[in-house]
Amino acid sequence: MALNNSYDARPVHQETAVGAGVQILLLALIGTAIGMGPAGWLAGLAFAVATWAVLSRALQRSGLRSFGAANRVTLGRATLVGGVTALVAESFQGAPPVTLFVGLTAVALVLDGVDGKVARRTGTATPLGARFDMEVDAFLILVLSVYVSMAMGPWVLLIGGMRYVFVAAARVWPWLTAPLPPSTARKTVAVLQGVLLLVAGAALLPHAVNAGVVALALGLLVWSFGRDVLWLWRTSRVATAPAVPEVRRELVAG
């Protein structure tokens, strides 16, 4: 009798569809609250569709039979990031309500420390979950850098674009894809990017102070990426170095 090893992807795909539905509901609530225009709607809907499509394809490839509580938290964060994306797109035509912008972003940043803990406590940590979490973080930083750059200048975009430049560079230099050792400093710098950009984006401090806050974020990020790239380069040099011939001493019987 042949064993039935078929994989039913419907349960996990249903969760991504629910996530897309919640995203649309959040956009509707934001639109009702602030009278969101076409730019905000298009950006938010594009984010929702892209998240659903990419995540569904990744889940299909991974073969996961359960979405998991940690991924649900990350999906919730992604929904909030979609709302922030819509507000930032809307800001090109007029400043969005600061309270709403700060509130959505702050909750998304706080939840960033929740999904990892949930995954570890429930024993459901997966490479897909870690990648999903990282991509949501990276896109939020990109969106925040776009928002802050409208007041500070295009140099702020270096913060949001640095991770994507690193990914593109890895296609040219494969040694950049090697796994990095765990680093508390790297995690701290990553968390600070969102916090410092949010502080600057809230515009509660003088312009010069906000510029200093953003410059600090960029400096920390350059240091963190530079340190990791240097480590990867040195490691690749050691791995590709020619082996030193072993010197053997023959014992001669006298």
pTM: 0.87
What is the maximum alpha-carbon separation in the chain? Answer: 98
The per-residue pLDDT for range 205-224, each reduced to its tens digit, is 999 999 999 999 999 999 99
- The residues near 60 (Cβ < 8 Å, ≥ 6 apart) are 9, 13
Question: What is the rounded distance in angstroms from the CA atom of residue 48 to the CA atom of residue 82?
Answer: 7
- Token reading at 7: 């994989």
Question: What is the rounded distance in angstroms from the CA atom of residue 15 to the CA atom of residue 140?
Answer: 22
Cβ contact 62:9 at 8 Å:
no
The per-residue pLDDT for range 134-154, each reduced to its tens digit, is 999 999 999 999 999 999 999
As a whole number of Å, the CA-based R_g of the chain is 23
> What's the whole-number average pLDDT of the chain?
87
Question: What is the rounded distance in angstroms from the CA atom of residue 210 to the CA atom of residue 196?
Answer: 9
Question: What is the rounded distance in angstroms from the CA atom of residue 86 to the CA atom of residue 33?
Answer: 13
pLDDT at residue 249 is higher than 50:
no
- Token reading at 77: 């964060």
- The residues near 31 (Cβ < 8 Å, ≥ 6 apart) are 40, 41
Cβ contact 137:194 at 8 Å:
yes
CA atoms within 13 Å, Cβ hemisphere of 226: 6
